Amino acid sequence: MLTGKKILLCVTGGIAVYKAAALTSKLTQAGADVKVILSDSAAKFVAPLTFQALSRNDVYTDTFDEKDSKVIAHIDLADWADLILVAPATANVIGKLANGIADNMITTTLLAATSPIWIAPAMNVHMYSHPAVQKNIETLYSFGCRFIEPSEGYLACGYVGKGRLEEPEKITETISLFFSKPKQDLAGRKVVITAGPTREKIDPVRYITNHSSGKMGYAIAEEAVAAGAEVTLISGPVSIKAPDGVKLINIESAEEMYHAAMEEYENANIVIKTAAVSDYRPKVCFSQKMKKQPGDEVLELERTKDILFELGQKKKGQILIGFAAETERVDVYAKGKLKKKNADMIVANNVTSEGAGFGTDTNIVTLFKKDGTSEELPLMSKKDVAAKILQEAAILLKDEQK
């Protein structure tokens, strides 16, 4: 899977450095050409010679140690790589990268990089959950970096929790999947995506909503643009920036999303409904703020329009893909939804699973298709899930047009 791929592995200091040695071996065995940069701290855990022997390449440790006088090492390495992986990534290097600090060989090289950057954190559970670290991760995510989230387990410090560097086999598998996924050509195709939550007003102050962050839908929109599609993104209120190149339609309520989706549907080739649309809304929306009264209050609700169902009834060759966010009996509900809504595929997940809930940068989904087949995907970044969904959508569209 990785034959001929050039991987630059940046190793920063922590006890998980020993796993980076195993990772170097796994990547090399998979056919990758691996070059390693070690931070000073990492070199105190495992000697550079170990990585040199495993990668069969020179190991870089010092910005000013130019091994080839014809090039500037950190620029040359940044240009050379097909993918740059920081593993393990300490809180320190994450903070430096998020703030543009370049004070060693690794950070200087990363600042000059234009290839994809993947970051695999490893640290104490409390360090990982610290607001500063989480903010830095969000910043790097907004820059386009991808994260291989740490797993849970026994940590070297004695704690049990999230902070273990993901296993080398899993990281190698994830990278292999990234390079092996087909690039879809959607030039000339119109893709409509709904994303985020809806808000159903109770009064001028309060509303009913849900935990959807919009990340999954926005990832699909970004991937669809990259594949050359004309993309319309119908979005509920979210805090993330829309990808460049999309036609963005901002909505708030389920009714507004319904009308926007219907208006865009006729000329669409592929419609992907990731939005978490409210099933109910207050029957009465008060024009003034409801004041507290003694005793309990009953809020009467009425059904909103079932957008996926309505789209399914009006299908004229469009590929229609829906999402099912469940907490139990995922396969039963997803298969039922697939048939009832006349969809071509349902992307289902259990939102209570670690790494698959609202607001995460990863997802664990199963694809249920109209032909009765299904495919379980492992824990993946939402960008990789998005690419897989578009791959399947392109295949379904091709079959539909035969």
Please enumerate in sequence order all residues whose Cβ is within 8 A of that of 317, keeping only pairs 6 or more positions apart, or say none: 400, 401
- Give strand pairing partners of 37: 10, 60
**Active-site residue 285, yes or no?**
no
Q: Flag the least confident range among 33-47, 183-197, 261-275, 315-329.
A: 183-197
Output the furthest CA–CA distance in the chain (Å, rounded). 81
Report whether pLDDT(328) > 70. yes
Residues 107 and 213 in one domain: no
Residues belonging to the binding site for CTP are: 279, 289, 323, 337, 341
Q: Is residue 351 part of a domain?
A: yes
Q: Are residues 242 and 98 in the same domain?
A: no
Give per-residue pLDDT as tens, 270-300. 999 999 999 999 999 999 998 888 989 899 9
Question: Which pLDDT belongs to residue 121?
Answer: 92
- Asked whether 233 and 225 are in contact (CB, 8 A), the reply is no
Which DSSP symbol is given to 71?
A: S
Q: What is the CATH number of the domain that holds 145?
A: 3.40.50.1950
Contact assessment for residue 58 and residue 67, using Cβ atoms and an 8 Å cutoff: yes
CB contact at 8 A, 254 and 307? yes
* Residue 398 in this model has a pLDDT that exceeds 80: yes
pLDDT at 392: 92
Residue 1 lies in a domain: no
This prediction has a pTM of 0.61
Domain that holds residue 11: 6-180
Q: Are residues 322 and 173 in the same domain?
A: no
Tokens linked to 236:
């509920």
pLDDT digits (tens, 9 = 90+) for 6-25: 999 999 998 999 999 999 99
Residue 287 confidence (pLDDT): 92
What is the structure's pLDDT at 70?
A: 80
Catalytic residue among 10, 145, 157, 285: 157
Look at residues 147, 180, 213 and tell me which one is the last residue of a structural domain: 180
| Residue 233 located in a structural domain | yes
pLDDT at 130: 93
Do 39 and 121 lie in a common domain? yes
Residue 236 and residue 274 in one domain: yes
Are 302 and 365 found together in one domain? yes
What is each CA distance from 11 to 68, 137, 205, in whole angstroms? 21, 17, 50
How large is the average pLDDT for residues 314-324? 94
For residues 64 and 44, what is the distance between their CA atoms, to the nearest angstrom? 19
In this prediction, residue 358 carries a pLDDT of 78
Could you read off the pLDDT of 24-59 as tens digits, one per residue? Answer: 999 999 999 999 999 999 999 999 999 999 999 999
CB atoms within 10 A of CB 59: 22
CATH of the domain at 245: 3.40.50.10300
pLDDT tens for 190-199 read 999 999 999 9
Question: Does the CA dihedral 2-4-6-9 come out positive or negative?
Answer: positive
| Number of domains observed in the structure of the chain | 2
Residue whose C-alpha is closest to residue 281's, from 298, 303, 305: 303
